[in-house]
A = this chain, B = another copy of it.
Amino acid sequence: MNKKQTYSIGELAREFDVTTRTIRFYEDQGLVSPARRGQTRVYSPADRVTLKLILRGKRLGFSLAESKELIGMYQPSGDNRHQLLALQNKIRQRRDQLEQQLRDIHALQQELDDAEQRCVDAMNDLEK
């Protein structure tokens, strides 16, 4: 009853709607390091999660380098105090950036509401 689930590059590409080229590119950039069976790449559930994080980062406007940083945050390999402090600083920066994005999004949503309303009004005018 062990979950020895693995994925091929094609499966993941289909699931996340990207090309295999893209996934290999992320590997080039050091964002994932799948196992190999011979030549062929074999992805673990953990690799899959990493891909998910990268793509979410993209949706949030992060560069691959930034996403790499973010993903690195989840395993503080920093075994000394200095590393941990640096890590906390980065986390704080991210949080500030996210807050700004939230403000931006709310403002934009408000404007879309207005724009849509104007749309509806204009169409109602055409009715008459």
Contacts and interface: CB of A to CB of B under 8 A. Distances in A.
Contact of A59 (B58, B81, B100): B100
B87 A119 contact: yes
A1 interface: no
A119 B88 contact: yes
A46 B45 CA distance: 51
A41 interface: no
Q: How many copies does the complex hold?
A: 2
A110 to B, nearest CB: 11
A108 interface: yes
Contact of A126 (B81, B101, B105, B119): B81
A91 B117 CA distance: 11
A108 to B, nearest CB: 6
A74 to B, nearest CB: 6
Query: Which of A74, A88, A94, A112 gathers most chain B CB within 10 Å?
Result: A112
Given A76-B119, A84-B119, A101-B101, 9 more contacts: A56-B104, A56-B107, A59-B61, A60-B101, A74-B111, A80-B126, A84-B122, A94-B112, A98-B105
